[in-house]
Amino acid sequence: MMKKLNALVTTVGIMASGAAMAGSFSDYDLDKDGAISKSEAAVSEQLIQVFDDLDINKDGQLSKQEFNK
């Protein structure tokens, strides 16, 4: 369990730095519907790698709150 937690923390840290380089939530929300779909996230290898971990409610989309965690 601790290994998974450490991996998640590391991955989220990488994703956060990637998001900072790539821009903001609105840069990924290409259709401007207030959510990032998996297809929208696919423009970032880092974001797509952590997408399922960030999708807390498992609805297949990232809300702004989920993205900023």
Domain residue extents for the chain:
2-67
The pLDDT, as a whole number, for residue 24 is 87
Q: Helices in the chain by DSSP H: which ranges?
A: 2-22, 25-28, 38-41, 45-54, 64-67
* 10 and 20 Cβ atoms separated by less than 8 Å: no
Q: How many CA atoms lie within 13 A of 36 on its CB side?
A: 26
**Tens digit of each residue's pLDDT, the chain (69 residues):** 666 655 555 555 555 544 444 668 999 999 999 999 999 999 998 899 999 999 999 999 999 999 998
CA distance 47 to 16: 9
Cα(33)–Cα(5) distance, integer angstroms: 31
- pTM comes to 0.67
Top-level class of domain 2-67? mainly alpha
